[in-house]
Amino acid sequence: MKLQVNRVLLGKALTALRKVVPRRPSIPTFSNIVLSAADQWLYLLGSDLDTTLRLAIDAEVMDPGQVCIPLADLIGALKPFKTKSVTLASHQLTEAPAGAVISADDSDGFRVRVEGWSLLDYPAPSLTPDNGPGGGTHLLDAATFLGALGRVQHACDCGDISRPYLVGVHFRADRDRLVLEAIDGRRLAWEVTDLVPPPWLARQRGGDPVHEIGVTIGARAVRELLALASPEGMVCIGTVALVDGEGGIIFGFGSRLFRAVTLGAKALPSAMYPGLHSFVEEIRPASDQVHTLRIDRERLLNAIQRLLLVDPEHVLLYPVSTEQVLLVGPPGVDPVRLPVEMSELTCPVVLNPVYLRDALATLTASSLEPSMRRRCPTKDKPISLDPFLIEEGGSLRIIMPMQVGSALLDRAQAFLRDSSPRSTGE
């Protein structure tokens, strides 16, 4: 293999692969990447079996071929180079167990050599869609897909690896609809987007059935997808059978930096997601069981962000009247009055401010109508424990309120008492 490639572009591709390739893998060969030169492109592939990333960049290929090389060694070897382009060449070594040596040199005559591995030792995951029974591919508008994915991914970053289905995003795609769901046990983000395929794709499909896709992918794969994908163009999504026999999904899309990007993700256990729709319908309050209020989204979001400067664990929404609520934070921060529209007084509710901020930031409406079940606080439970819902068109955000002591309630009542006009007496 021999090729010439832009040094800066190659460096950015190697940096992107570092987020996927483990530094100290349990299987040593997964510290390597595969370089493939063909058709005036250089393909770079790295994986840890859970997430696989393949990038394509422009290159002047003199001799096509493949080589398996340690990623960290290659990054370190390229650091001294200063020229615009570098030449990579691999030489097979029959007497060495590593299998190959790759050399890099520039126009100034500087050269380095890095020992590689045999390609037979690298179990590269498949990135070819499975078009058999139950498989299939979908072509989606990139801006629509990435926008919906970005609006739900905040609800899957709980970090609880003991429950893997709570650290991923589940999505279903059929002919004309994309449903994305993320849940971590305390909050849920639900996004439904209508998909209108391009006319040429509709003509190509004709009356052929479109396979439905339903799979859960990990939060790390979601973050890489959002970081690398460009909103221009289309995203190709397909199911795939991985090397260990488990299912997965691949995404093919364009990028601002690279010619083409293919991201493969191993499917996480998702047994709970088929029943998630019925769960949402069950906890969604009926119209005769809820308190609703209309509140300005931007004002509420700004107030929450100010409170987060002192890192509160929870905030209290305390109804003062049908036209005003009090947002109460930790001691040392004055409560904030917010105008609202309520048909009747509702119960105080305590929420995680980070969850509330994330939910508000993903919505676009100028005003919101969150709701909760009609249940007043009791002596043992000073707040309502039913879901606090925020809806907007095809979006649904559910935040489970927190049960805390009476400290916040006492602060709200003390603030109202101290700020009310004092009677002069008779």
How is the chain split into domains, by residue range?
Answer: 2-121, 137-277, 284-419
Write down the H helix ranges in 231-314: 276-283, 297-307
| Arithmetic mean of pLDDT over the chain | 78
Q: Each residue of 291-343: pLDDT tens digit?
A: 677 899 999 999 999 888 887 888 988 888 889 999 998 888 888 999 998 87
Q: Each residue of 410-420: pLDDT tens digit?
A: 888 888 888 76
Q: H-helix or E-strand containing 215?
A: strand 213-218
Name the pLDDT band for 236 (thresholds 50, 70, 90): confident
Q: Each residue of 166-214: pLDDT tens digit?
A: 778 888 777 677 888 888 878 889 898 876 665 555 555 555 555 677 7
Looking at residue 161, its pLDDT comes to: 54
Kindly report the backbone phi and psi dihedral angles of residue 386, in degrees, each rounded to the nearest multiple of 5, phi listed first: -85, 160
Looking at residue 162, its pLDDT comes to: 59
CATH assignment of 2-121, among 3.10.150.10, 3.40.50.410, 3.40.50.12780, 3.90.550.10: 3.10.150.10
Name the pLDDT band for 106 (thresholds 50, 70, 90): low
CATH homologous superfamily for 284-419? DNA Polymerase III, subunit A, domain 2 (3.10.150.10)
For the domain 137-277, what is the CATH code? 3.10.150.10
Ranges of beta strands (E only) in 242-394 are: 247-253, 260-266, 290-296, 315-321, 324-328, 336-342, 349-351, 367-368, 371-373, 388-392
Q: Does the global pTM surpass 0.85?
A: no
- The count of residues in the chain is 426
Which SS3 state, helix, strand or coil, does residue 142 take? helix
Distance CA 309, CA 353 (A): 11
Category of 172 on φ-ψ map: left (φ > 0), alpha (ψ -120 to 50) or beta: beta
Q: Each residue of 344-378: pLDDT tens digit?
A: 777 788 899 999 999 999 988 888 888 776 555 55
* Strand partners for 87: 4, 105
Q: Each residue of 384-404: pLDDT tens digit?
A: 557 788 888 788 898 888 876
pLDDT at 135 over 50: no
